[in-house]
Structure 1
Amino acid sequence: MKCPHKAHVAVVDGTRFVIMRNKGQVFEPKLETVCTPNLETTNFSAGVRHQDDAGQRLGRTDLNELAHAAAATEWLNQQALDGKIDQLLIISDPKTLGEMRRHYHQELQQRLVGEIAKAVAHEPVPVIEKVLAVN
């Protein structure tokens, strides 16, 4: 995946959210951690879609994780609206990414340079850089 120089990279899953910036080149990313926002998970709107009792008991749906994805997206939306993010690439596990897409603001969508559906939020930075370089 082409990750432009100085583009922000959001690495997200149901419990972790890290903002990085590419200090390297397009095909040789070098990520630097910018911040780890402290999120308030108050948006449990996914609960409307995930009321299947069997899914809850079997652990297929965790509303707290989906609320974390919504909170991360709300944070990113605000950064885009405030002009603090020009280019953004999101790396997230498929379930979290699916929930995030439901909350994208139009301004954030215009700033997206890509999405990678991979669970790497708890991996070290060199592994994340490798994922960027090969996808």
Structure 2
Amino acid sequence: MHLPENTVIAVADGEKLSLFQNEGDASNVKLRALPESEIDSSKIPSGSRHSSSAANPDDSQQNEDGFGKGVADMLNKQVLDGKIKSLVIVAAPRTLGELRKGYHKSLSDVLLGEIDKDLTGHSIQDIEKALAAA
């Protein structure tokens, strides 16, 4: 994947978000960890507020979906504030689906790509390899 310098890489699952920035150039990705961002995970998606049953997600799934919504909101805000000019999202498949529901048009405009893989907790080298292979 072609990653210009300063591209932000968001690596997420339903509970954790790590942000990185490419300090290398497009052909030589060199990631640096960014400080943690505050995520408001209190936003449970509509339709998920009912008590658990076979047709409704359990509480942990509701929490993960709320976290995904919070991540999308935070990324949207950073894009709208001009702090993110190019973005790649690496997320567990279900989390990626939740994130997509919350993308602002401006976020979609700066989104260079998505990788549906859970790489939270992996080393920077593993993330760089996944980006290079994408």
TM-score, L = length of structure 2:
0.89
SS, match of residue 98 in structure 2: helix
Maintained 8 Å contact 1:56/1:62? no
1:98-119 deviation line (CA, Å, top 9, x unaligned): 0000000111111101111111
1:32 is aligned to 2:32: yes
Residue identity matched to 1:67: G
Structure 2 residue aligned with 1:93:
92
Deviation at 1:19, TM superposition (A): 1.2
Residue identity matched to 1:26: A
SS, match of residue 132 in structure 1: helix
Maintained 8 Å contact 1:10/1:20? yes
Residue identity matched to 1:63: Q
Structure 2 residue aligned with 1:21:
21
Number of residue pairs aligned between Structure 1 and Structure 2? 132
Deviation at 1:22, TM superposition (A): 0.5
Whole-Å Cα distance in 2 between the matches of residues 13 and 27 of structure 1?
27
Deviation at 1:28, TM superposition (A): 2.6
Structure 2 residue aligned with 1:53:
53
Trace 1:1-135 onto structure 2 (pairs within 5 A).
1-45=1-45, 48=47, 53-54=53-54, 62-135=61-134
Q: Aligned pair in 2 of structure 1 residues 49, 124: CA closer, same or farther (>3 Å)?
A: same
Maintained 8 Å contact 2:48/2:62? no
Residue identity matched to 1:10: A
Whole-Å Cα distance in 2 between the matches of residues 126 and 50 of structure 1?
39
Whole-Å Cα distance in 2 between the matches of residues 26 and 117 of structure 1?
21
Q: Aligned pair in 2 of structure 1 residues 2, 49: CA closer, same or farther (>3 Å)?
A: farther
* Long gaps (5+) in structure 1: none
